[in-house]
Amino acid sequence: MRQEAEPGPRVVRTEQEWRSELSPAEYAVLREAATERPYTGEYTDTETEGVYECRACGAELFRSTTKFHSHCGWPSFYDPAASEAVLLREDNSLGMRRVEVLCAACHSHLGHVFEGEGYQTPTDQRYCINSIALRLSPTDGSDS
């Protein structure tokens, strides 16, 4: 997994602006890197076709075509919508070595990415993303 130098966010708001635009739960996850409880998120088992956008800034992050059932308790994707859609940052918090996933546009926390877990996906990666960090924009004509 390649991590690159982190450019500054394209979407910039003050912390007060973020607090006024996001619910307390959204703010905790997106701006303070909290994690929603497993199996409680809106999109954990969703199969609706569409585009998953950043709930904070609306940037396209993932597509339903790369979503898969990992049974981990959070929505899982094997690849972002575009290589520049997300940033990867080393995360050594909680006594673990992980890779944090951030929205490249606004640097909001989305979740973590793992690899080598044996899922039968084209990338052997699992982008484990908090539902509350996403907003699904269904493809026209799809069922919700």
For the question of residue 57 being annotated catalytic, the response is: no
Catalytic residue among 54, 57, 106, 128: 128
Q: What is the C-alpha to C-alpha distance for residues 46 and 88, in angstroms, rounded to an integer?
A: 25
The answer for residues whose C-beta is within 8 angstroms of residue 12's C-beta and 6 or more apart is 106
Q: For residue 119, give the DSSP letter.
A: -
Q: Check residue 87 and give left, alpha or beta (phi > 0: left; psi -120 to 50: alpha).
A: beta
Q: Is-contact 124 115, C-beta < 8 A?
A: yes
Residues noted as catalytic: 128
